[in-house]
Amino acid sequence: MTNSQTAQTQFQKRRLGSTGPEVTSPALGGMSLSGAYGAVGDEEGVRVIHAYLDAGGTLIDTGDFYGAGHNEMLIAKALRERSREDAVLSVKFGALLTPVGMPAGFDGRPEAVKSFLTYSLQRLGTDHIDIYRPARLDPQVPIEETVGAVQELVAAGYVRHIGLSEVSADTIRRAAAVAPISDLQIEYSLLTRGIETNGILDTCRELGIGITAYSVLGRGLIGGSGALGGSLAHMPRFQGDNLDHNRALLATLEEIAASKGVTLAQLAIAWVAARGEHIVPVIGSRKVSQVESMAGANAVRLDDADLARIDAAVPVGAARGDRYPTHFMTQLDSER
């Protein structure tokens, strides 16, 4: 049996909320294929996407601002010789960029939503997007207006499902009152567990909304190479004493992973997946070998004793440093 065949037997099927699509878990995150954490050639990027699809994966997550459109065009290239129905495409929109690629705020106005979609459809080479979501809450535009604009695109056939990203429990409720919400995309990992205490996780469960969890590996802190490529050097958790403290937290986790014969990364993915059937980890792979590893995480079984050991090793709030630089944290509705 080949590695690809082995991975295919290990992908799980999960539904994103009560109204969303059936997808495979883990999902493939596209951001790391467009320079976020260091350069990746397009040929290698296509190989990674093909490896994920060939292994039976379906959910590919991207943003129209990843590489200023590069990521969508890379995905289009990878899908060119595949059936469109082989992939479930999740796209974030609304993040504004300067000419040098720096963040410049968010735009959730209804007219902007429709313009963003037009460009995404062209770059992706498709006639529809499976899940369309604002990347952040525009503080100048009520979420009802932004979601209402996406709902119009659903009615017109350009979008299949509506998602949210990095919003608070209150905003989730307001959005869900306008249209069915498939899932919330938000950071969730052993090092980032805020959704367990701020009402977001409970609200999603109550309303039948799935969660697509990103940065499951702590941007490489958990089981990564340790290299500070791309934007990592600007992240508080990777700076000074914070980095030393956070790495030390993982020592016991490495022992647990070793006792199970799996990698630390696989343990971290399995832990997130074990938090609920409505949760799908999103893993940003840059190499084919990482796709095989993330698929293998579904074979990891964590019993109550394992989960208790993990919680004792890395309790809620144990990580030091915010998950983004201060000026980005202020833009997160989920942190208010």
Catalytic residues: 66
Q: Where are the strands (E) in the chain, listed by range?
A: 12-15, 22-25, 27-29, 59-63, 88-93, 95-97, 103-106, 129-134, 159-165, 183-187, 210-214, 279-283
How far CA 283 is from CA of 141, 293, 335, in Å, comes to: 31, 10, 22
Terminal C-alpha separation, the chain? 49
Is residue 135 helix, strand or coil?
coil
The DSSP annotation for 71-95 comes to: HHHHHHHHHTTS-GGG-EEEEEE-E
206: Cα within 13 Å, side-chain hemisphere: 10
